[in-house]
Amino acid sequence: MSKKKRSRKKKQQIRPPRPSPAPEAVAGRPQIKDKAAKLEPADKKGPRKLRIVLVALIIVIGAAALVVLVRPRRVPITRDSRLNVLLITLDTTRADRIGAYGYAKARTPNLDAIARNGVLFSNAYCQVPLTLPSHCSIMTGALPISHVVHNNGTYTLAADKVSLAELLKGQGYKTAAFVSSFSVDSRFGLDQGFDVYDDNFQENLPFKALNSERKAEQVYTACLPWFDRLKDEPFFCWVHFFDPHLPYNPPSPYREDFKDRLYDGEVAYMDYIIGELMRKIQDKNLLGRTLIIVAGDHGEAFGEKGEAGHGMFLYDMAMKVPLLFYAENHLPASSLIPARVRLIDILPTVLDLLNIPTPESVQGTSLIPYIQKKKKSNLDSYIETYYPKENYGWSPLVGMIAGDWKYVRAPKEELYDLKADPNEAKNVFASEKKTAAKLKAGLDGLIKESVVPGASAKRTLTAEEQARLRSLGYVDYSDKTATGEAPDPKDKLDELRMIQEAEKAEFESNYAAAAALHEKMLTLRPNSASSYINLALAQARMKNFDLAIQTLRLGLAKIPGSELLLSRLGYTYLVTQRAQDASDTMAEVLKINPRNMDALTASAMIMINQGKKEEALSFFERALAIEPENKFLRMSYAQALADLRKLAEAIAVYTKLTQDYPQDNLAFQFLGIVYAMAGDFDKAAEFLKEATYLKPTPTAYYFLAMAYKEKGEIAEAVRYLELYVEDTRGEPETRVRSAETGLKYLKTLLK
């Protein structure tokens, strides 16, 4: 073993400094080379006068101002078929909370630098204010009515929908994604086309945690090894940051610096990590040949129109997003595009810049002509949210933005003049019937063109997925048996506030208050499966599992055969160690949905505990077909293979795990043990020794000693047995006695 390998570095830990008030850099260093600073001002009287004029303009324009430091460089668009692509998506990020978009209180120096050195779209819209469908639109260039993913958790992107990752992979690109929320978990189909899809939130747990989110630092740390392994081939990397999402909880020092503006603190922290990512790109000399796109997937409401969060309405606070393009020597710097554009335009723009033909299925348009100033007209934008219908039983909202107008189809239709009324304070539908009719006709035509009959990818949400999404604000409160016209969400603000109060109580761990509110909502929606699930979750969090089971059974009596209720009941049985009840219940779940991940995982674990390892293998294999990257499943599967003496197969799985997780001592430890079982004691010693370098454990010391004993290296065997007997905590008593006896015997051989 080389010394270099022994001195394996630990994962880099980011320690965010206290944000500097200076807008130019984080920790005193610009994170992206500022080409703008080198430009000669057009005004021959000098840069001082230019700065004075710009400051005056910013003051005049006020909060809506865009910080443009110099005039755009008139450089030609340079297309390049080998240009790397880095897509950074900012979950739940409002454009008007970024400095480059005119927010004076922002601390976003890195995003501002990308904007200053690249192209800023000041009027970009998402198509749906929800994470999964919005990212599906980004990745396919298609509207949700075409890619048929309308909501979080209840849809899967169909395999026949061509994604940006698939297109670039077909051109020889290395592809990888590093995501931070369960909303875009691989089970929902966004992993297609990616060589690596890192959605490991708590990788050593059997079920992804209810709070299935990871901080920007963790996402950044996860992507570093992949960047380090890059060679000369072009790459497409998607990095997804989730931080500015309820509940707002930025790390120190942002929590303290933004104590009265925690959302802004989340954005500032995310900006710092983006700076670290830019530094990585610079250090690898990739910046000059990488297209960087920064896009928000949707915005966030802060109580405007009665909504705190997003998904319920189609107002601009949830629909307008930041959109930045940067490509050194390929795109102009300091370029401001005021025309309305859409997230569906990202994919065709990337393909245009890379000289790759755009598939016919793409509904967006390339923005290169806008960057070239050849086009300036606003693009019509389809918008929708099925969230009120599928999560609350209320009417869905579908709309169209064309010209200066926004139309929203609802039981009480809405029309806003966005130019005269940017805050959407006055609904002019009644007084502007002709304009409304024109937008309605355009909307109807677009829907007819886009919708493919029978193309729905909707599936039933599992209880565990439902619970995870609840923690993100995506709660299914719909009454599936409701009849008649669905109510307008605008008429349900009192109930929406009560729901938000329950979520707030859960965020604050006040589960008694949350349970009381859920009981009240259960009386309003006795036919909704999630009404029972939400109440049972609150009861379980108070450790009242028997009451939670009673609530779920009550729900099943009302709604027999509900996958949601059965899955949650099976999970509750599992955590209360009622194995047979859990097994029987999960079997019912799998009859309804054979791809239910939680039921497959739980069934495999139950089979292992019952000694039915062949049956466990079948469940593991079915689960891994859905989530092949799942670390817990892979480790458990390899262990089951080893227990069944399928050693070659176990070695193959463990070997891949050591490659994917080179800092995981247990992967090396188990691989060494399986090699010992196979009689290859040289390999056993090699991997067990590596495990002890990473993290010494009694088990690793014991089996390493046994491997050296079999190799005839008695001194080394004695050495590791001595280390073993010094600390045998957690070890089986029979193994401890055997080690003590064996140590005495081996020492006699050395004399």
Average pLDDT value for residue range 253-258: 95
Cα separation, 222 vs 203, whole angstroms? 12
Are 316 and 418 a contacting pair, CB within 8 Å? yes
pLDDT band at 182 (very low <50, low <70, confident <90, very high): confident
Q: What is the pLDDT of residue 498?
A: 87
Residue 224 confidence (pLDDT): 93
pLDDT reading at 296 higher than 60:
yes
Mean pLDDT score, 550-572: 92
Question: Residue 268 corresponds to which tokens in the numbers above?
Answer: 């500032």
pLDDT band at residue 34 under the 50/70/90 scheme = very low
Residue 688 in tokens: 């067990």
- Confidence (pLDDT) at 533: 87
Of the candidate ranges 154-158, 375-379, 584-588, the one whose mean pLDDT is the lowest: 154-158
Helix pair 597-609, 579-592: axis angle to 10 deg: 140
Pick the CATH number of 647-751 from 2.40.50.140, 1.25.40.10, 3.40.50.720, 1.20.1080.10: 1.25.40.10
Residue 480 scores a pLDDT above 60: no
pLDDT digits (tens, 9 = 90+) for 593-625: 898 888 999 999 999 999 999 999 999 999 999
Domain boundaries, the chain: 35-377, 390-450, 577-644, 647-751
d(CA 411, CA 479) in angstroms, rounded, equals: 18
Return d(Cα 371, Cα 200) in angstroms, integer. 37
Query: What are the tokens at 425?
Result: 């304070």
The model's confidence at residue 44, banded by pLDDT at 50, 70 and 90, is very low
Least confident among 53-62, 357-366, 482-491: 53-62
What does the pLDDT read at residue 749?
86
Q: Strand runs (DSSP E) across 33-83, as ranges?
A: none
Report whether pLDDT(453) > 70: no
pLDDT tens profile 718-741: 999 999 999 888 889 999 999 899
Q: Mean pLDDT over residues 90-95, rounded?
A: 96
338 or 24: whose pLDDT is higher?
Answer: 338
In this prediction, residue 203 carries a pLDDT of 64
d(CA 536, CA 242): 27
Confidence at 464, pLDDT banded by 50, 70, 90: low
User: Which DSSP string corresponds to 590-653?
Assistant: HHH-TT-HHHHHHHHHHHHHTT-HHHHHHHHHHHHHH-TT-HHHHHHHHHHHHHTT-HHHHHHH
pLDDT over 70 at 59, yes or no: no
Instruction: Please tell me which residue, 131 or 563, carries the higher pLDDT value.
Output: 131
Return the pLDDT at 155.
Answer: 86
Rounded to an integer, the average pLDDT of 296-320 is 94
Superfamily of domain 35-377: Alkaline Phosphatase, subunit A (3.40.720.10)
Specify the CATH architecture of the domain 577-644.
Alpha Horseshoe (1.25)
In the structure, what pLDDT confidence band is assigned to residue 416 with cuts at 50, 70 and 90?
very high
Distances (CA, A) of 444 to 399, 409, 441, 450, 596: 10, 11, 5, 10, 36
Q: Are 418 and 436 in contact (CB under 8 A)?
A: no
> Which range, of 208-217, 391-400, 587-596, averages the lowest pLDDT?
208-217
Q: What residues does 269 pair with on adjacent strands?
A: none
Find tokens 């689960």 and name the residue.
Answer: 623
170: left (phi over 0), alpha (psi -120 to 50) or beta: alpha
Share of the chain above pLDDT 70, in %: 84
pLDDT band at 664 (very low <50, low <70, confident <90, very high): very high
Q: What would the mean pLDDT of 394-413 be, rounded to a whole number? A: 95
Strands 341-342 and 119-125, by their bridges, are: parallel
Q: 3-state class of 415 per DSSP?
A: strand
Per the listing, tokens 């709070």 go with: 211
Least confident of 96-100, 244-248, 352-356, 636-640: 244-248
- Tell whether the model's pLDDT for residue 295 goes beyond 90: yes
Helices and strands in the chain, H and E counts: 30, 15
Q: Token pair for residue 317?
A: 């606070």
| 252-261 mean pLDDT | 95
Give the Cβ contact number of residue 579 at 10 Å: 16
> From the CB of residue 319, how many other CB atoms can be counted at a distance below 10 Å?
23
Q: What is the pLDDT of residues 371-394, one digit of tens each?
A: 999 999 999 999 999 999 887 788
**What is the helix (H) or strand (E) element at residue 564, kind and residue range?**
helix 563-575
Please state, rounded to an integer, the average pLDDT across all residues of the chain.
85
Q: The domain 390-450 is classified under which CATH number: 3.40.50.80, 3.30.1120.10, 1.10.3720.10, 3.40.50.1220?
A: 3.30.1120.10
Neighbours of 741 (CB within 10 A): 10
- Fold match between domain 577-644 and domain 647-751: yes
**Tokens representing residue 7 in the block:** 């001195």
Q: How many residues does the chain have?
A: 751
Question: What SS3 class is residue 554?
Answer: helix
Cα–Cα dist 473/248, whole Å: 12
Q: Is the peptide bond before 244 cis (omega within 30 degrees of 0)?
A: no
Q: How far apart are CA 135 and CA 185, in angstroms?
A: 12
How large a percentage of the chain has pLDDT more than 90? Answer: 67
Cα 525 from Cα 528, distance rounded (Å): 6
**How far is residue 54's CA from residue 61's CA, in Å, rounded to a whole number?**
11
C-alpha span between 141 and 347 (Å, rounded): 5
Q: Residue 650 to residues 603, 644, 674, 686, 717: CA-CA distances in angstroms?
A: 20, 10, 7, 17, 25
Q: Would the pLDDT of 298 be above 60?
A: yes
Q: What is the pLDDT of residue 471?
A: 38
> 72 by DSSP, 3-state: which?
coil
Alpha-carbon distance of 95 to 324, in angstroms, equals 11
pLDDT tops 80 at residue 476: no
| 102, 67 Cβ separation under 8 angstroms | yes
